[in-house]
Amino acid sequence: MSDADVIVVGGGPAGSSTAFALARAGARVLVIDRERFPRDKPCAEYLSPQASRVLNDMGVLSDIEARAPSHLAGMVVRAPSGKQLRGDFVAGHGYRGFRDRGLAIRRRVLDEMLLQAARNAGARVMEGVRVTDVRRSDGGRVSGVVAVGSDGARELTAPLVIGADGLRSVVGRRLGLIRGGRFPRRIALVSHWRGIAGMEEYGEMHVERDGYVGIAPVDDGLINVALVIPASRATTIGPDREHYVSAWLSRRPQLRPRFTNATRVSPVVATGPFNVRAPRAWAPGALLVGDAADFFDPFTGEGIYAALRGGELAAHAALRALENPAAVDPLRDYERARRKEFGGKWRVERLVGVAVAFPPLIERAATSLSRRKDLADLFVGVTGDFVPAREVLRPSYILALLFPSLANAGTRPSPLPAHET
């Protein structure tokens, strides 16, 4: 008999969401994570408003609210020239979601709650156990994993293995599913601070010519500071990451006074490089979900919601696959469902990634968005998963963004109809 119906490698948001949905449906689920929870995780720690719907379905939203997370009304983006746009998640664009604000909470708090929800649903969890390889049957189909714990290595078997093990997914790499993009390639340096002046109920993105920094309050009075720079500059960081981040911030006139009396209260932790994806997020007997399947860049803050929602999609496909383990149609359908769910957002993320890398583009966009709050609200609504990505991929929107004088002359995007997502 197999050790489980499904082995989920990774106990973060993607793994916990997948395991929760599977266990609730009656599947025997085993979650394996190399860490012991609670544990810190370098991340911007922002959840778009639509993530609240998944958190509510998992029964953890009220517990998260009890920890007093920050509630973000929208985003402020500052271009290198100083031009600034402010967009609200819920504005006059007619789309509504489960909640109208984003959440920001430390991953050590969030992830432990999500993993406990999976346990409560019936999933078994092995912490402090590292998966080093996948196990294959004679026909090449994935049939389990090789796991190493304090008692040594052993093989664990299951008809289906789901890799939810992040950017450097062991499952994805062992199966040859992961690809790294050449441009842009960025890394992040993440830390928590207290006492940064001028913080409001908005997340902030400050774009500079040599990178960008995201700043947002989280829980417990802490502020997340995530500095993102090109991977090519990694060699300039040196052995003292804390000094590098402080020096980078002090060179920005708009940020220097705000950090004068601020205190960094956690080590600076590096993560990346980003821009990794699985062109096909499945192999016979295996699926990839969350960052293991795709993570382009942290600018638009899609990671945690995509992980939670992706877990729901993966669980749906897995349950169908368990009915006929030899069939691959449910796995192919999972790939189609991912593309339908996230394809538009992927295109937006890549356009933003290019714009951030080329200052003239981000300046032109910032000029238009700073003058047209309706355009800014639409853009931020897409990042908050309220507004379908197609709305900012429309020719009329792109024209208004890049050629505002033409848009003002009569090509103003028409009002959007009211919808619910």
Q: How far, in Å, are 12, 322, 345 from residue 180 at the CA level? A: 22, 31, 19
Residue 162 pLDDT exceeds 60: yes
Are both 6-74+101-180+275-345 and 186-271 of the same fold?
A: no
Q: What secondary structure does DSSP assign to 202-219, as a single string?
A: EEEEEEETTEEEEEEE-S
Specify the pLDDT at position 201: 93
Residue 417 pLDDT exceeds 50: no
- Which of 40-54, 198-212, 394-408 is the least confident region? 394-408
Find tokens 């897409």 and name the residue: 382
Specify the pLDDT at position 73: 92
Task: Assign 413 a pLDDT band (cuts: 50, 70, 90).
Answer: very low
Cβ neighbors of 311 (< 8 A, separation 6 or more) are 13, 14, 15, 16, 17, 18, 19, 20, 21, 54, 164, 289, 290
Specify the pLDDT at position 407: 53
Task: Assign 173 a pLDDT band (cuts: 50, 70, 90).
Answer: very high
Please calculate the CA angle 129-133-139 and round it to the nearest 5 degrees. 135
Specify the pLDDT at position 411: 43
Percentage of residues of the chain with pLDDT beyond 90: 81
> Rounded mean pLDDT of 67-95?
86
Cβ neighbors of 202 (< 8 A, separation 6 or more) are 72, 73, 74, 75, 76, 86
The mean predicted confidence, pLDDT, of the chain is 92
Task: Assign 401 a pLDDT band (cuts: 50, 70, 90).
Answer: confident
> Crossing angle for the helix pair 303-323 and 329-357, nearest 10 degrees?
170
| 8 Å CB contact between 106 and 190 | no
State how far the Cα of 59 lies from the Cα of 116, in Å rounded to an integer.
10
Right CATH number for 186-271 from 3.90.950.10, 3.30.9.100, 3.30.450.40, 3.90.550.60?
Answer: 3.30.9.100
Structure tokens at 147: 């796991």
Specify the pLDDT at position 329: 96
Specify the pLDDT at position 385: 83
Q: Give the pairing of strands 70-72 and 102-104.
A: antiparallel
Cβ neighbors of 310 (< 8 A, separation 6 or more) are 14, 17, 18, 289, 290, 293, 338, 341, 342
49 secondary structure, DSSP code: T
Specify the pLDDT at position 94: 54
Task: Assign 49 a pLDDT band (cuts: 50, 70, 90).
Answer: confident
- Which of 19-23, 35-39, 137-141 is the least confident region? 137-141
Specify the pLDDT at position 230: 95
> Rounded mean pLDDT of 135-156?
95
State how far the Cα of 53 lies from the Cα of 21, in Å rounded to an integer.
14
Residue 121 pLDDT exceeds 70: yes
Task: Assign 76 a pLDDT band (cuts: 50, 70, 90).
Answer: very high
Specify the pLDDT at position 306: 95
Task: Assign 101 a pLDDT band (cuts: 50, 70, 90).
Answer: confident
Residue 93 pLDDT exceeds 60: no
Percentage of residues of the chain with pLDDT beyond 70: 93
What pLDDT, in 10s, does the model give residues 316-362? 999 999 999 889 999 999 999 999 999 999 999 999 988 898 888 89
> Rounded mean pLDDT of 123-143?
96
What are the residue ranges spanned by the domains of the chain?
6-74+101-180+275-345, 186-271
Structure tokens at 64: 């998260």
Strand 142-149's sheet: what is its strand order? Answer: 130-136, 142-149, 152-157
Right CATH number for 6-74+101-180+275-345 from 3.40.50.970, 3.50.50.60, 3.10.180.10, 3.10.129.10?
Answer: 3.50.50.60
Specify the pLDDT at position 138: 86
Specify the pLDDT at position 387: 87
Residue 406 pLDDT exceeds 70: no
Task: Assign 314 a pLDDT band (cuts: 50, 70, 90).
Answer: very high
Task: Assign 409 a pLDDT band (cuts: 50, 70, 90).
Answer: very low
What pLDDT, in 10s, does the model give residues 283-308? 999 999 999 999 999 987 668 999 99
